[in-house]
Amino acid sequence: MSKSTEATVHALFEHQARLSPHATALVVDAAAEGETSGEVGPEQAEPAHHPELTYAELDARATRLARELIARGVRPEQPVAVLAHRSPGLVVATLAVFKAGAVFLPIDPALPRARVQLLLKDAQPGLVVTVAAPESSIVDGAIPSMALDRWGATVEPTVADGTAPLPKVDIRQVAYLMYTSGSTGRPKGVLVTHAGVAGLVESQRDRLAPGPGSTVLQFASPSFDASFWELCMGLLSGARLLVAGSDQVMPGPELVALLRRHQVTHVTLPPSALAVLSPQDLPTVTDMTVAGEALPPDLVADWAAGRRMVNAYGPTECTVCVSISSVLPAPGATPPIGLPVSGTRVYVLGESLELVPPGVTGELYVTGEGWRAATSACPVRRRTGSSPTRTASPANACTAPAISLGGTTTASSNSRGGSTTR
């Protein structure tokens, strides 16, 4: 297998499945499955059983579904919308879309109906996959749809060839289509290739050390790219990915109980979630990524002791994030966003695109494999070239080897001409 195909999302997952086929890949909280012995509250005993899938089982389900997608006419680099809450079926469908060479478009059914329809109209998916289908009525009948049960099995299977080879997928092909929030206007579709995934996983391993024996929480909504970060951290490192229902991951007593039940070691949370929790509530969490919002110094002071805590930053136009800090110390100045993830380069530039000296505010520019994205209407069109791209984030070049943000951490990209290097 060539370098251009062995570092796709699904190839990295398949590598883990070959290494440890019988290891647990996916754990589903029993409270979310209705398989508890009575109500499971924050102070209650263990549920009777938490369903699991091994790496081999998950890989087999995803491969089977990928062949079903192809049998239904899904083509390489064609968007496939997956309308699903957090569930094992969502994980199976995600991997299946990648294996089929298509473009994964996650849509959270909790979004307003008008936004769901706007995304479908803009993305023009060739197929809409629904999981545990009460939300299927949202789908416009003009778009072909396919129903899965909660565990990713096809409700009405086709006669797909169970031995047909799956297409070879190159890292330069588009992996997923994510939409911005639209808080500053109309949501924009962002196409991200497989190219930056290997660097993202490498940086996760270097700075957070997930792996066999780790349990990673799937906290983020499917419509946010943080959910892709969590999937990579869990399934591309050999760890376990924990899936729970929306009620279980709501910051507060239910989330605390969930993390304790499963002895979760790795979480990614926004500062607003930490603000309503206590560090003493999460004794098993050894590694914490904070992202999505500006991180106040007082939260670092409260949470950094006794665990690896890092600050991650990245607009939607990158492979989840462009930089991750080193382990944050207890109290200090504004927490830095750290150094670039592997394969990505960042520059803090002035008005004339000159590098600013340490301590001076400029604007953050990004280039590299982690920025092989395109913002456009569908069908798929790419932005090409390797020139650094301007974000909307003011930043400071710190004296230490790190970058700190000045102002908002919300950013969008705008192409600027001219390659800029040190």
Cα(97)–Cα(129) distance, integer angstroms: 10
Residue 9 covered by a domain: yes
| Region of poorest pLDDT, from 26-35, 200-209, 246-255, 288-297 | 26-35
Please write the tens of the pLDDT for every residue from 174-195: 999 999 876 667 888 999 999 9
Retrieve residue 296's tokens.
Answer: 């106040």
Q: What is the CATH number of the domain that holds 33?
A: 3.40.50.12780
| Region of poorest pLDDT, from 31-40, 45-54, 96-105, 176-185 | 31-40
Amino acid at 192: V
* Element spanning 348, H or E: strand 344-349
pLDDT at position 5: 57
Which residue has better confidence, 265 or 133?
Answer: 265
pLDDT band at 360 (very low <50, low <70, confident <90, very high): confident
Return phi, psi of residue 368, to 5°: 115, -175
Residue 369 covered by a domain: no
Instruction: Give the whole-number percent of the chain exceeding pLDDT 70.
Output: 78
pLDDT at position 348: 85
Q: Is the pLDDT of residue 351 over 90?
A: no
Please write the tens of the pLDDT for every residue from 52-93: 999 999 999 999 999 999 999 999 999 999 999 999 999 999
Q: Is the pLDDT of residue 216 over 60?
A: yes
Retrieve residue 126's tokens.
Answer: 């060739």
Count of domains for the chain: 1
pTM for this structure? 0.86
Return phi, psi of residue 142, to 5°: -75, -20
pLDDT at position 251: 96
pLDDT band at 214 (very low <50, low <70, confident <90, very high): very high
Cα(51)–Cα(26) distance, integer angstroms: 8
pLDDT at position 332: 60
Q: Is the pLDDT of residue 374 over 50?
A: no
Question: Regarding beta strands 240-243 and 24-28, do their DSSP bridges make them parallel or antiparallel, or are they unpaired?
Answer: parallel
Q: Is the pLDDT of residue 238 over 80?
A: yes
Residue 311 covered by a domain: yes
Q: Return the biggest CA–CA distance within the chain.
A: 65
pLDDT at position 398: 44
Retrieve residue 399's tokens.
Answer: 């004296």
Residue 230 covered by a domain: yes
Report how far Cα 127 is from the mean position of its chain's Cα atoms: 21
Residue 381 covered by a domain: no
Cα(282)–Cα(405) distance, integer angstroms: 28
Residue of 110, 102, 58, 101 lying closest to 83 (CA atoms):
110
Amino acid at 320: V
Question: Regarding beta strands 189-193 and 344-349, do their DSSP bridges make them parallel or antiparallel, or are they unpaired?
Answer: unpaired
Average pLDDT over residues 117-126: 92
Retrieve residue 403's tokens.
Answer: 């970058």
pLDDT at position 392: 46
**Cβ(187)–Cβ(119) below 8 Å:** yes
Extract long-range pairs of 139-144: CB within 8 Å, 24+ residues apart: 139/83, 143/81, 144/72, 144/73
Residue 234 covered by a domain: yes
pLDDT band at 363 (very low <50, low <70, confident <90, very high): confident
pLDDT band at 372 (very low <50, low <70, confident <90, very high): low
Q: Is 368 helix (H, G, I), strand (E, B) or coil?
A: strand
Which residue has better confidence, 317 or 218?
Answer: 218
Q: Is the pLDDT of residue 36 over 70?
A: no
Q: Is the pLDDT of residue 102 over 90?
A: yes
Q: Is the pLDDT of residue 304 over 60?
A: yes
Residue 401 covered by a domain: no
Residue 354 covered by a domain: no
Cα(131)–Cα(225) distance, integer angstroms: 19
Number of other CB atoms surrounding residue 6 within 10 Å = 13
Interior/surface letters 134-150, b for 16+ CB within 10 angstroms, e for the rest: ebeebbeeeeebbebeb
Beta bridge partner(s), residue 241: 26, 216
| Domain extent at residue 121 | 3-344
**Burial category of 156 from C-beta neighbours within 10 Å (exposed 0-12, middle 13-18, buried 19 and up):** exposed
